[in-house]
Structure 1
Amino acid sequence: MQLDNRAQTLLKALVERYIADGQPVGSRALSKISGLDLSPATIRNIMADLEELGYVASPHTSAGRVPTPRGYRIFVDTLLTVQPIDESAVESTLRPQAQPPHKLIANAAQMLSSLSQFAGVVLSPRHESVFQQIEFLRLGEKRILLVIVAPGGDVQNRLLLTDVDYTPSQLQQSANFINQHYGGLAFDEVRTRMQGELRQLRDDMGRLMQAAVEAGSEAMADSSDDMVISGERNLLSVSDLSSNMSSLRQMFDMFEQKTGLMQLLDVSSKASGVQIFIGGESTLVPMDEMSVVTAPYTSNGRIVGTLGVIGPTRMAYERVIPIVDITSRLLSNALSHN
């Protein structure tokens, strides 16, 4: 339902005051902070209408009102005035330079946490299981370390236990064959092509290469949905989230299990720009007192992951939204130039 200007002004003033001090807001306070020349009776009538529409609620212990999830939603969608922040003050953290992607992602999570004073989260880029090269290192009898180097410079290691004790020269020969014929391809594609091409090689060498492809494929799959979270402890000082043991347990279960959070970030990656998930409104947010502000990030114009800030529903959205937006753009730029 479309609210008239007076109702919008009062709702905006109420949400901003409640975010600032966490106390229910009464009609007398609204008459002072809204800038409207209205009688207390008129304000009470408008607030009663807003309550009936589900935008505000009256706690049992107070005559004042607090915003509901629906009230927060209309506030962030239509009433919010975003505060610009100085991009130059933060871009040094994610300046394009010779840094591996995992380091840029860790820096982004830390920057989100530091700037917002809440928790920062980054869902790592989805890997396509493509490798640039592999190496075999002999660790001992029938024990080989498989080293997989991705195109972006990330390195994955896997231990191979073999039936045959390969010599260093055999390991080098096998690695050279794979790198020469298959470097730059996805492991799934290599698996298909190898089935016919390896018949010309000795059986032992073929088995080693097939084991490397299987292990490499698993290694890439294991790392494809990595999530970096920074600043979880900041949320312990937020009374709205840590006021009771049940809330604390629910919050840290979310961080430990990660499944629900990954689902939320995955949903966010399918939309452009900043998205706001408000507790009590979105089933993807496990707690009514929690909100998540997210944005996708790209590499060379393609969306590869999502980042965001996890904080209380009563957060300063006008400050957190540009933090998420700028971090998304800076990380995208750094990854594209890496």
Structure 2
Amino acid sequence: MSEKLDPRAAELLKLLIERHLQDGQPVGSRTLARAFKVELSPATIRNVMADLEDLGFVASPHTSAGRVPTQAGYRYFVDTLLAPEPLSAAELERIAGELLPGSKSSADMLQTVSGLLSRLSSMAGVVTVPRRNVTVLRRIEFLNLSGGRVLAILVVNQREVQNRVLDMGRDYSAQELERYANIINETFAGRDLLSLRRTLADELVEAQKRINQMLGEAAALAEAALKGQDADDDYVLAGGTNLLGFQELSDVGRLRRLFDVLDQKRDLLDLFDQCLTASGVQIFIGGESGYQVLDGCSLVTAPYAIDGQVAGVLGVIGPTRMAYQRIIPLVSETARLLGNGLGSGLESR
């Protein structure tokens, strides 16, 4: 944020956001005057609020004389004014106790963490599955079978061979299949199956835009061959229904689109992939995620590491009106404790 607020404007913005976080209602000048440390006239506060509105940090709903923070206001608050509240000893002990090394399988631990994040935040908690054991495509070959079926032979990692019979609905010649295999090997060999699985649909769309039938056929074959690969390598979500309780997310159409995104997972997985290479907590407020369906939401994430290697991401999804001062430490500490639990648990098995 390039605009630096003077101390008085910054304090009033902080007070406004903190009050709005409590009840979701527009905040009026009189309320701010009562809460401000130094006595200010209502006219002075109104002038400061007008300046903040001109900067795009607050907005005035049509039905109220008060103001509410905007996405830009929340961003300034999080980056400049926020004072995180450390988790209490009891909360840390509770999370650590649920993640005792060796007490649960990795899958159970992920379920536990997503549930903990949901319960402690009263929003949706999400954890991606660890990506320690990445499966890499080395080569693919296709053999035509009868009845519109194709045998896909995948060589993954070093020498592991996997065979899949694909029902493609039409017959292919041996020459066609060889060309398509060559395209896939030249384009995708060396890619891990998780990221490859997510990009193939995009390749299909782009091929159709370019009317590139050969690339489209090759992508369709590859997508069919990899369907189900690493099917569990996505994320565990808990508390999605908590989002129903927030007034700002109560629009039926918005909720339907949001739950579609949570269910289909693809868009969120792309977003989580960005977080894998980030350092520490990442906060996407409203439209910052790049996905229109998340415009009214915020996503707070942190990567977790196993034995010093980043393995996945966890986070909390909720409305932009979330208690960032509590959610940020919650996500950060839970990521640390999950990484410790998974690392020690893997060593003990």
Band the TM-score falls in, shorter-chain normalisation = 0.7 to 0.9
Query: What secondary structure is seen at the aligned counterpart in 1 of 2:293?
Result: coil
Mapped to 2, the partners of 1:296 and 1:248 lie a distance apart of: 27
Q: Given the alignment, which residue of 115, 124, 145 partners 2:120?
A: 115
Mapped to 2, the partners of 1:249 and 1:27 lie a distance apart of: 36
Mapped to 2, the partners of 1:267 and 1:285 lie a distance apart of: 17
Q: Given the alignment, which residue of 91, 95, 118 partners 1:90?
A: 95
Residue 220 (structure 1) shift: 8.7
Q: Given the alignment, which residue of 210, 227, 231 partners 2:235?
A: 227
| Residue 318 (structure 2) pairs with residue 311 (structure 1) | yes
Which aligned pairs between 1:167-206 and structure 2 lie closer than 5 A? 187-191=156-160
Residue 224 (structure 1) shift: 6.3
* Contact 1:109/1:230 (8 A) holds in 2: yes
Match of 1:23 in 2: 25
Q: Which residue identity lines up with residue 135 of structure 2 in the other structure?
A: S
TM-score using structure 1 length: 0.72
Residue 83 (structure 1) shift: 1.2
* Contact 2:254/2:293 (8 A) holds in 1: no
Match of 1:255 in 2: 262
Query: What secondary structure is seen at the aligned counterpart in 2 of 1:129?
Result: coil
* Contact 2:286/2:298 (8 A) holds in 1: yes
Q: Which residue identity lines up with residue 39 of structure 2 in the other structure?
A: D
* Contact 2:276/2:313 (8 A) holds in 1: yes
Deviates more, 1:4-13 or 1:281-290: 281-290
Mapped to 2, the partners of 1:218 and 1:246 lie a distance apart of: 33
Deviations 1:117-148 (A, max 9, x none): 11100111123239xxxxxxxxxxxxxxxxxx
Query: What secondary structure is seen at the aligned counterpart in 2 of 1:296?
Result: strand
Q: Which residue identity lines up with residue 234 of structure 2 in the other structure?
A: D
Which aligned pairs between 1:75-86 and structure 2 lie closer than 5 A? 75-86=77-88
Larger Rg over CA atoms = 1
Residue 25 (structure 1) shift: 0.7
Count of equivalent residues:
259
Q: Which residue identity lines up with residue 233 of structure 1 in the other structure?
A: T
Residue 313 (structure 1) shift: 0.7
Which aligned pairs between 1:235-250 and structure 2 lie closer than 5 A? 235-242=243-250, 244-250=251-257
Query: What secondary structure is seen at the aligned counterpart in 1 of 2:127?
Result: strand
* Contact 1:296/1:303 (8 A) holds in 2: yes
Query: What secondary structure is seen at the aligned counterpart in 2 of 1:315?
Result: coil
Deviates more, 1:12-21 or 1:246-255: 246-255
Q: Which residue identity lines up with residue 100 of structure 2 in the other structure?
A: R
Q: Which residue identity lines up with residue 26 of structure 1 in the other structure?
A: G
Q: Which residue identity lines up with residue 249 of structure 2 in the other structure?
A: L
Give the direction of change, closer, same or farther, for the CA distance of 1:98–1:91 in structure 2 (3 Å limit). closer
Residue 187 (structure 1) shift: 4.0
Give the direction of change, closer, same or farther, for the CA distance of 1:100–1:119 in structure 2 (3 Å limit). same
Query: What secondary structure is seen at the aligned counterpart in 2 of 1:314?
Result: coil
Mapped to 2, the partners of 1:262 and 1:284 lie a distance apart of: 12
Mapped to 1, the partners of 2:58 and 2:292 lie a distance apart of: 20
Mapped to 2, the partners of 1:236 and 1:17 lie a distance apart of: 22
Runs of 4+ in 1 over 4 A off after TM superposition: 217-220
Query: What secondary structure is seen at the aligned counterpart in 2 of 1:249?
Result: helix
Q: Given the alignment, which residue of 50, 53, 56 partners 2:55?
A: 53
Match of 1:337 in 2: 344
Match of 2:135 in 1: 129
* Contact 2:130/2:312 (8 A) holds in 1: yes
Mapped to 2, the partners of 1:191 and 1:112 lie a distance apart of: 37
* Contact 2:304/2:311 (8 A) holds in 1: yes
Residue 229 (structure 1) shift: 0.4
Q: Which runs of 5+ in 2 are unaligned?
A: 137-150, 162-224
Mapped to 2, the partners of 1:36 and 1:261 lie a distance apart of: 45
Q: Which runs of 5+ in 1 are unaligned?
A: 131-161, 163-185, 193-216
Query: What secondary structure is seen at the aligned counterpart in 2 of 1:41?
Result: helix
Mapped to 1, the partners of 2:25 and 2:295 lie a distance apart of: 17
Q: Which residue identity lines up with residue 9 of structure 2 in the other structure?
A: A
Match of 2:76 in 1: 74
Match of 2:181 in 1: none
Deviations 1:152-195 (A, max 9, x none): xxxxxxxxxx9xxxxxxxxxxxxxxxxxxxxxxx9421148xxx
Mapped to 2, the partners of 1:8 and 1:250 lie a distance apart of: 35
Match of 1:2 in 2: 4
Mapped to 2, the partners of 1:315 and 1:248 lie a distance apart of: 17
Which aligned pairs between 1:258-337 and structure 2 lie closer than 5 A? 258-284=265-291, 286-337=293-344
Q: Which residue identity lines up with residue 14 of structure 1 in the other structure?
A: L
- Output the aligned Cα RMSD: 2.1
Query: What secondary structure is seen at the aligned counterpart in 1 of 2:289?
Result: coil
